[in-house]
Structures are given as structure tokens and as C-alpha cells.
């Protein structure tokens, strides 16, 4: 009976989209290679009887499924990766013997993973958070992992505090919320009891923590490293990634709404742009300085809560990174990639920064936990692209097993492929810096200034950015239930900027100001304004790579729409058509234009700017649709440029928008599409306030 039974359980007619295999090579098999005849019905004793334990096909399928998950990263769980290359602009052998910097124009393959820090794997992309910016360079002399962030400083000065920092920032352990946010008591309790975090708090309350996309953010190696040339001469270095797109962030209210509308906003952005061939690029810059500068600099260069302003030590650009290929498989590549700060190559070395020293232990350790075997280095995404020869052997999942008899050193067997030897002339050499001292648990006095650079950061921001910082403090602290914690944070802010502290206190409804926090070292406010610390002073100068949301309906004039699309194309910009149905619209001339979004799936928060091209009839209908009203109101509230035509009036009237029209509105009946694009090259209409 079972043989003649035709019903498979799958509904409908698969038609062209569900075909049977054409030849042997397309037949599904088990993991053991056994061809499968039916993968949708388990083996049963009778058509309605129990499933048999004998069903090796079902057991294998479910067994494997049960073991699909590996532990997510303890921090930076949510991430997205892409492949590309790094191109060296010149021969930099005078400063480092690192192989990738020796030859002008040479390309080195890279894999990059961007991430948020606090949230779990499924958390939304626009959480207020630091972004990880980890780059693996597959050089001819081994993998170099530059595991950085999009913020150049860190919360703490010593790695021993890291578990406390992370525990406090993640969900609280009893209630398991809030997810992917620092707006809760535990985080602000820890931070306010750790004054070394104040500089970093200013950065994460700024719009740096809500980037427009990965393409619009900087990356920083954070720590001071060393570069060593072939003569053994050493220099200190700080690494910077500068996005070719310029810097851009969203505003907080927008971020909250993006998280609902498209929790994958940053992922989708990277995927879409790379698939469209608009490959994002960053230039790698180095700040190079010597011991004398380090000795005379106002702060300790081994303290990761401090920057060296670019005005003091300029950034020299040494190459560019281009991301041009998405992964074939997210798990195999993005999930299994194992960045380790201790992966460095000849010509680059560590410094005693106590944060970096601790990281060098933690990353290797955590990969063993996550990937389950010391052989994680053999997974293709982690394996070096240059030869690997050593006597490490065996272990779980060992895939690269040496041939031959030799597996120890020293040995008497003649040298060769199967018997590698360490080479004093060419191998990795650590910096020979002399070190001495007593064994003690101690924080150097040179790490004691916690406020001066926070002051510098704040005063380097534009007034708009300062307002955003104030609002972010008020938002976050309003979620803190314990008054004493809120007060403690404000007591620190008094050491940064009295006006900021007062505004935050007012926003929190304080009846009186808390005393100033006692400073371990008196802050100085004579540090220069550093324009490089502002996002708005370093924003994009074109609309290229940015996106216009075109809200339109049937009846739109062909010339208008076509002109706009052509100008966008010429600029290298992206757009989406937001239409009443996803099937799209018919222009006045009868042309069908496909929709990308319907209005409730394509709110204006998903776009850098909007154009509202409704006919009068369409606008009357949309004036009754709440999402259509939000589209315009949000674009207005988020300081976006709004292109419009006369037909839109009924919708604008419904919103009392006509009286609010300002320089951020562009009348597309009288202005050309090119004029509109020229306006869009400015990031937002900040004058709107
Ligand atoms: Fe990390 N960090 N970290 N971190 N970190 C990890 O390693 C750690 C720090 C950074 O996309 C973990 O593979 C310690 C600074 C990035 O896979 C873990 C300390 C900076 C990523 C770890 C720090 C970073 C991580 C968790 C204090 C910027 C994601 C999973 C001393 C310079 C890499 C993993 C990826 C990931 C430890 C501080 C950047 C546990 C102990 C400072 C971008 O090893």
C-alpha cells in the first residue's frame, strides 16, 4: 500500500519552482551519501502508525538539526561580515617590515565583521551601542587581526574589569532584560562608579553609537601598537579606518523606529550595496609617534580611555580596504570567523596597555569555547592563506594532519616540507623594550585623568551634536530607576560641562544639583577643539550611496519621475518606490513602475531623504492613512530634506505642514531633479531645530 501512496504532504502545485532532480548529481543524500527518495515523510509502521526508530534518514536529519547552534559570542554576538581586499598605497618599509606594507599597489585579502556589543544575536541593528570593526588580513606572513571598534576609546583601563563592564551592560541577570541597551540601572551604576568610563560615555551618548550604516562609520584600533622595521627600529602607532562615504548617523527617535521597521537595517544596507556593486571603501590611516612624543604627551599612550587628537599627530593614509563580496554562507564565515588580537605578524607588536594584554588572553580562549576545538584555525575562514607548518597535532575535528614521521623538535631528521624549523633570521621578533618592576596590583598614576578628554570631546561637537548628547543622557537616565545613580552620573557631568550637567538635571527633573564628583586628578579644559571628533564636521559631500524614499501613487507625471530617477542614477544614489501596493503604480503615461515598499513597510526612517510625489487625488486618499502621515511627519521631525509637488497639498494640509515649510523642503514643480540632488548632498536640514 505504501508504495502506491502518492500524497507527499506538501501542498499546492510546485510547478517550475519545485522540480524533481534532472540527473544523479542533483539527488539529495544523507550525510553519508546515501540517496534519499522521500525527505518529507518519516518511516512508519502503517500509514497512520508510529515512526520507526529504524528511520536512519529522519534520525540523521533531526540529530544534526539538534546540534546546529554554537554558543553566541559573549559580546559582539550580533554581527555581519564581508570579504574584500586591502591595497597598500606605497612601500612603507621604512616604518614596518610587515609584509603587507612593503609593495605599492599590492592587494591583501581581508574579511571584516561589523557588530554591536551588548545585544544577543537576534537583537536589532540600531541599538545605541559601540560597533565592532574587526578586520582579518590574510597576509603572506600570517593572519593579522585588527580587532577594533567605531569609537577610539574604551570604558575601562584594565582588562580585569571587562567581565564587570559586560555583565552590567547586558540584560540584568534576574529579569533578563533590557536587551541590547545600556538604559538601565546596572549599566549606569557600574559606569558611574568607574569614573575612567566618563570619556567613553560621552562617545556612546553621541550619535557615534547610532551610525547610519557600517559604510558611514570610522574604525579604530583603539590601543597603541608598535611598528618595527627590518633594522629593528620601533615606532608607536594608532590605527584608523576612514570611510570614503564620510560620517553619518541617524537621530535617536529615528533609530528607535528603524529597529521596529527593519531590525536588519545595517545588514541589509551592506548586503544591498555590495550586491549592487557599489563597494564600500575605507582608508587605513596611521598615527605614528616616537618615545619622545609618548613621554611628553599629556596622557599615557597605554591608556585606552584616551585618544591622540589628529591635530596633534596627523593621520597618514597608507592604503584602502574595499569590501566587494558577501559570504556564501553566514554560519561558515561570519559566525565561525575567530578574531584574535594576538594574531599579529612580523613588523607589528603589542604595547603594555593593560587592556590589550588582557584581550590577548581572552580572544583565543573564547574561540575555543565557541568553536569547540583548538583546530578552529583550520576552518577555511580562519585558516591563513600562506603555508602553515608546525607540530601541533590531533584534537577534535583535526582536518590538516601532517604526513611523515616527525612531530617534535629538536629532531635529527633532515629538513623539508614535513620537517619545518624555526628561523632566527626571518621569524617573528618581539620588540626588545627592557621591562622591570615590582609585582603589584596597581593602576598607574598616569591613568588618573578621567575628565579632560571628555571635555575636549564635548566642546569639539557642533551645537546640534551637543543637543543630541544631552538628550541621550536624559533618555538613558530616565530609564534608571534609582535616583542616587542618576545623581551620580550628573555629578560626573559637572566635571565635563556645567551647562550640560544642568540641562541633564533639568531634563531629569532634579530639584537640586548633586555635588561635583571628586576627581582623582583635576580636569583641564585647555585642550584644543578637535574637529575630527565631530560627525557633522566630517559628513558626506554627495548623495552617492545614500537612499531616497519616493512616496508616490498612480498618475505621477512620467517626466518628473524619470528625471528624478535619472539624476539619482547619475549621482550613484539609491532609491525605493513606496507605493500603495507592492505591485507598484501606473504613471500618467501608463507606464508600470514596480513598488519596493508599501507605506506601512517603508516608513521614512528607512531613507536619508524623501520625495512625496502624490497627485491631488492620491494625497486626499493618503491624508486618511496614519502611516502616510507618519511618513511625512517623521521625515520632518528627523530633519530630512523633503521634495514635494503641488498635488501633495491635501496631505500636507492635513498635517499643518504648509505653514512649517522651511529650507529643507524642495518644490519639485519649480526646481529640477538635479537641484534637488544638490540639496541632498547636505546630510540633513539641521537648521530646523
Ligand atoms: Fe573585545 N572581545 N574585549 N574589545 N571585541 C570579543 O571575542 C575582550 C575590547 C572587539 O567580530 C570576544 O570572539 C576583553 C576593545 C570586537 O568576532 C572576547 C576586552 C575592543 C569583537 C572579547 C575587550 C574590542 C570583540 C567575544 C577588555 C576595541 C568582535 C567574542 C580587555 C578595540 C569580533 C570574541 C568579531 C569580541 C574580549 C575589549 C573589540 C570575549 C577581555 C577595547 C570588534 O574575547
Tell me how far the alpha carbon of residue 54 lies from the centroid of ligand 1, in angstroms.
46
Asked if 523 and 490 sit in the same domain, the reply is yes
278 lies in some domain: yes
pLDDT tens-digit profile of 124-160?
Answer: 999 999 999 999 999 999 999 999 999 999 999 999 9
State yes or no: is 76 an active-site residue.
Answer: yes
> 74 CB under 6 A from ligand 1?
yes
- Binding site residues for heme, as ranges? 73, 113, 162, 359, 363, 370
Asked if 582 and 648 sit in the same domain, the reply is yes
Asked if 665 and 636 sit in the same domain, the reply is yes
Q: Read off the pLDDT of each residue in 449-458 and give the average, rounded to a whole number.
A: 98
pLDDT tens-digit profile of 468-526?
Answer: 999 999 999 999 999 999 999 999 999 999 999 999 999 999 999 999 999 999 999 89
Asked if 38 and 89 sit in the same domain, the reply is no
**Residue 4 pLDDT > 90:** no
Which DSSP string do the residues of 470-487 spell out, in sequence order? Answer: HHHHHHHHHT---HHHHH
**CATH number (domain holding residue 224):** 2.40.180.10
Q: In the numeric block, which cell numbers belong to residue 379?
A: 576552518
97 lies in some domain: yes
Our measurement of the distance from residue 210's CA atom to the centroid of its chain's CA atoms, rounded to an integer in Å, reads 10
Asked if 132 and 91 sit in the same domain, the reply is yes
658 lies in some domain: yes
**Residue 628 pLDDT > 60:** yes
Contact 152, 307 (CB under 8 A): yes
b/e map 417-440, b = 16+ CB within 10 Å = eebbeeeeeeeeeeeeeeeeeeee
pLDDT, position 2:
44
What is the pLDDT of the chain when averaged over all its residues?
Answer: 96
Backbone angles phi, psi at 135, to 5 degrees: -120, 130
> 345 CB under 6 A from ligand 1?
no
> 118 CB under 6 A from ligand 1?
no
502 lies in some domain: yes
Residue from 70, 73, 169, 199 to probe ligand 1 pocket by mutation (most atoms less than 8 Å from CB): 73
Q: Locate the ligand 1 atom nearest the alpha carbon of residue 221 and give its number.
A: 32
User: What are the angstrom distances between the C-alpha of 382 and each of 137, 144, 220, 583?
Assistant: 10, 11, 22, 44
> 488 CB under 6 A from ligand 1?
no
User: What are the angstrom distances between the C-alpha of 543 and each of 318, 378, 404, 552, 603?
Assistant: 26, 42, 60, 21, 20
Q: Locate the ligand 1 atom nearest the alpha carbon of residue 220 and give its number.
A: 32
- C-alpha span between 376 and 365 (Å, rounded): 11
Give the predicted TM-score (pTM) of the model.
Answer: 0.96
State yes or no: is 149 an active-site residue.
Answer: yes
Q: Read off the pLDDT of each residue in 374-393 and give the average, rounded to a whole number.
A: 96
ipTM value, please give it.
Answer: 0.98
Tell me how far the alpha carbon of residue 544 lies from the centroid of ligand 1, in angstroms.
32
Tell me how far the alpha carbon of residue 119 lies from the centroid of ligand 1, in angstroms.
14
> 83 CB under 6 A from ligand 1?
no
399 lies in some domain: no
Asked if 279 and 203 sit in the same domain, the reply is yes
Number of structural domains the chain divides into = 4
Asked if 598 and 497 sit in the same domain, the reply is no
361, 378, 395 — which closes off a domain? 378
**CATH number (domain holding residue 524):** 1.20.1370.20
pLDDT tens-digit profile of 406-445?
Answer: 999 999 998 888 899 998 888 999 998 888 999 999 999 9
Nearest CA to ligand 1 atom 43: 132
Contact 453, 497 (CB under 8 A): no
436 lies in some domain: no
441 lies in some domain: no
Asked if 110 and 47 sit in the same domain, the reply is no
Catalytic residue among 41, 143, 149, 150: 149
> 355 CB under 6 A from ligand 1?
yes
What residue numbers bound the domain in which 513 lies? Answer: 451-536
Asked if 232 and 347 sit in the same domain, the reply is yes
**CATH number (domain holding residue 626):** 3.40.50.880
> 359 CB under 6 A from ligand 1?
yes
Asked if 135 and 212 sit in the same domain, the reply is yes
Amino acid at each position: 500500500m505504501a508504495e502506491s501512496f502518492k500524497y507527499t504532504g506538501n501542498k499546492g502545485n510546485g510547478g517550475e519552482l519545485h522540480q524533481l532532480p534532472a540527473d544523479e548529481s542533483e539527488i539529495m543524500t544523507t550525510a553519508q551519501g546515501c540517496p534519499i527518495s522521500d525527505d518529507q515523510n518519516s518511516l512508519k509502521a502503517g500509514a497512520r502508525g508510529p515512526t520507526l526508530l529504524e528511520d536512519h534518514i529522519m534520525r540523521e536529519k533531526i540529530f544534526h538539526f539538534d546540534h546546529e547552534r554554537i554558543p553566541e559570542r559573549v559580546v559582539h554576538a550580533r554581527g555581519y561580515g564581508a570579504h574584500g581586499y586591502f591595497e597598500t598605497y606605497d612601500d612603507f618599509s621604512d616604518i614596518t617590515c610587515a609584509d603587507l606594507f612593503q609593495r605599492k599597489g599590492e592587494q591583501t585579502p581581508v574579511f571584516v565583521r561589523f557588530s554591536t556589543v551588548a545585544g544577543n544575536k537576534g537583537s536589532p541593528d540600531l541599538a545605541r551601542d559601540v560597533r565592532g570593526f574587526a578586520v582579518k588580513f590574510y597576509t603572506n606572513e600570517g593572519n593579522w587581526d585588527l580587532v577594533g571598534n567605531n569609537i577610539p576609546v574604551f570604558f575601562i583601563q584594565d582588562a580585569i574589569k571587562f567581565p564587570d563592564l559586560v555583565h552590567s551592560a547586558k540584560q540584568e541577570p534576574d529579569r533578563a532584560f533590557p536587551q541590547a541597551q545600556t538604559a538601565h540601572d546596572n549599566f549606569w551604576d557600574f559606569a558611574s562608579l568607574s569614573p575612567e568610563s566618563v570619556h567613553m560615555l560621552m562617545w556612546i551618548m553621541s550619535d557615534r553609537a547610532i551610525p547610519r550604516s557600517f559604510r558611514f562609520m570610522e574604525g579604530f584600533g583603539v590601543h597603541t601598537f608598535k611598528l618595527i622595521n627590518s633594522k629593528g627600529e620601533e615606532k608607536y602607532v594608532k590605527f584608523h579606518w576612514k570611510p570614503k562615504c564620510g560620517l553619518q548617523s541617524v537621530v535617536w527617535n529615528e533609530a528607535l523606529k528603524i529597529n521596529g521597521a527593519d531590525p536588519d537595517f545595517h545588514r541589509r544596507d551592506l548586503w544591498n550595496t555590495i550586491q549592487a556593486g557599489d563597494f564600500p571603501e575605507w582608508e587605513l590611516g596611521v598615527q605614528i609617534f616616537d618615545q619622545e612624543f609618548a613621554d611628553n604627551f599629556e596622557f599615557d599612550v597605554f591608556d585606552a580611555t584616551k585618544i591622540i587628537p589628529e591635530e596633534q599627530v596627523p593621520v597618514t593614509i597608507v592604503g584602502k580596504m574595499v569590501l566587494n563580496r558577501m559570504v556564501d554562507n553566514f554560519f561558515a564565515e561570519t559566525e565561525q570567523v575567530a578574531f584574535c588580537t594576538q594574531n599579529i605578524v612580523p613588523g607589528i607588536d603589542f604595547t603594555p596597555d593593560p587592556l590589550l594584554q588582557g584581550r590577548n588572553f581572552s580572544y583565543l580562549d573564547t574561540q575555543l569555547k565557541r568553536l569547540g576545538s583548538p583546530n578552529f584555525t583550520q576552518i577555511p575562514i580562519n585558516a591563513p592563506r600562506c603555508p602553515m607548518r608546525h607540530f601541533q597535532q590531533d584534537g577534535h575535528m583535526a582536518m590538516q594532519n601532517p604526513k611523515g614521521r616527525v612531530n617534535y623538535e629538536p629532531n635529527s631528521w633532515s629538513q623539508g616540507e614535513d620537517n619545518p624549523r624555526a628561523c632566527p633570521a626571518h621569524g617573528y621578533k618581539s620588540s626588545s623594550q627592557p621591562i622591570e618592576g615590582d609585582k603589584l596590583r596597581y593602576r598607574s598614576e598616569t591613568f588618573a585623568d578621567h575628565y579632560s578628554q571628555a571635555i575636549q570631546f564635548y566642546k569639539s561637537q557642533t551645537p546640534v551634536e551637543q543637543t543630541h548628547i544631552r538628550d541621550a543622557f536624559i533618555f538613558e537616565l530616565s530609564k534608571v530607576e534609582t535616583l542616587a545613580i542618576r545623581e551620580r552620573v550628573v555629578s560626573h557631568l559637572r566635571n565635563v560641562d556645567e551647562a550640560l550637567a544642568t540641562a541633564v538635571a533639568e531634563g531629569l527633573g532634579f530639584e537640586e544639583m548633586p555635588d561635583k564628583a571628586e576627581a582623582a586628578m583635576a580636569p583641564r579644559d585647555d585642550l584644543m577643539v578637535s574637529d575630527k571628533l565631530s560627525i557633522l564636521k566630517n559628513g558626506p559631500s554627495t548623495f552617492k550611496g545614500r537612499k531616497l524614499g519616493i512616496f508616490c501613487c498612480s498618475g505621477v507625471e512620467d517626466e518628473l519621475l524619470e528625471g528624478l530617477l535619472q539624476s539619482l542614477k547619475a549621482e550613484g544614489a539609491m532609491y525605493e518606490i513606496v507605493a500603495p501596493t507592492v505591485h507598484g503604480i501606473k504613471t500618467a503615461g501608463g507606464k508600470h513602475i514596480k513598488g519596493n515598499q508599501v507605506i506601512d513597510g517603508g516608513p521614512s526612517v528607512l531613507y536619508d531623504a524623501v520625495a512625496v510625489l502624490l497627485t491631488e487625488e492620491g494625497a486626499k486618499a493618503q491624508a486618511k492613512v496614519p502611516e502616510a502621515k507618519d511618513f511625512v511627519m517623521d521625515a520632518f521631525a528627523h530633519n530630512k530634506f523633503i521634495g514635494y509637488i503641488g498635488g501633495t497639498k491635501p496631505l500636507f494640509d492635513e498635517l499643518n505642514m504648509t505653514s512649517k515649510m522651511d529650507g529643507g523642503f524642495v518644490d519639485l514643480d519649480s526646481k529640477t531633479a538635479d537641484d534637488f540632488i544638490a540639496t541632498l548632498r547636505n546630510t540633513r536640514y539641521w537648521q530646523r531645530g
